[in-house]
Amino acid sequence: MAPFFYSKFLDYLRYEKRYSDHTLVNYEVDLKQFFEFFDGQDLTSLKPKDIRLWLVNLSEKKLTNKTISRKLSTLKTFYKFLHKDGFVDGNPVVRINAPKIEKRLPAFVKEAEISIEKLKKIEGDTFEEKRNFLIFEVFYQTGIRLSELLLLKEKDFSDGKILVNGKRNKHRIIPLSNDLVIRISDFITLKRNNRVYSDNIFCNKSGEKLYPKLVYRIINSYLGRITKMDRRSPHVLRHTFATHMLNNGAGLETLKELLGHSSLSATQVYTHNTFSQLTSIYSQAHPRGGKN
């Protein structure tokens, strides 16, 4: 059973921290699992050794270090809130280190695999097919997150750009290609012609907002038709956008603004992919680059 201050904590995340619905769901899942593990115990009197026991339990369940690290981060935010509001005297999580996470380079689709000529062959003509193809193109041409796409309103689209509501309710403006401007305009017209009324750009034929799992399945299906890579998600298209931008001359600062990153450190991960391409070009182009 969740303690009485659980709802206060969720309100804090929702209204003060302005976390997205997706992030809130992750917090809820993590905390409910934590509550179940310590069922019947007073959560305000837990010690660091109790938290370590919980971490061992997560490890025995074969959870990855990345997942365990995220759950520990949730717990640190939770106890920081409890300490700030006087529910606990001390924070049992503050000195517990997260397990080391093996860094994995972002997966991305090769430019040849995602050419517009190749994609047009699988576009389709129905309302859902037009919508799904546009969703794919918006992800690839803007690099926005899944949660951000679901929040896009028709009013956010104007004058060749789109206003994106990002993490922590931070807004950013992303320029659009002429092709994407036409596609969005045509889709909004298609909605009107089909009497589909919604403030959101993307919705179903009843005007209802799309849910994350549906969008994930749409992207998974499209990527499955153009690439053999195992990872097929909206975030792969975000990685693809970033990698292709850098490979074609965009600077890190520009990419940081387009992606909505709070610091350059989050953006710099994409330089690994760019450096790999430079190494390949060097080995082929330089007389002593190691080419066969």
Residues with active-site annotation: 145, 167, 235, 238, 261, 270
User: For residue 129, what are its two tokens?
Assistant: 């097919």
- In 10 A of CB 263, how many CB atoms? 8
Residue 218 DSSP SS3: helix
Amino acid identity at 262: S
Tell me the H-state helices in the chain. 5-11, 21-37, 48-60, 65-84, 116-120, 127-142, 146-151, 178-193, 212-226, 234-247, 252-259, 264-267, 270-285
16 C-beta neighbours (distance < 10 Å), count: 9
Considering Cα of 37, then 38, then 43, then 46, what sign does the dihedral take?
negative
Mapped onto helix, strand or coil, the DSSP state of residue 292 is: coil
Strand order in the sheet with 171-175: 157-158, 161-165, 171-175
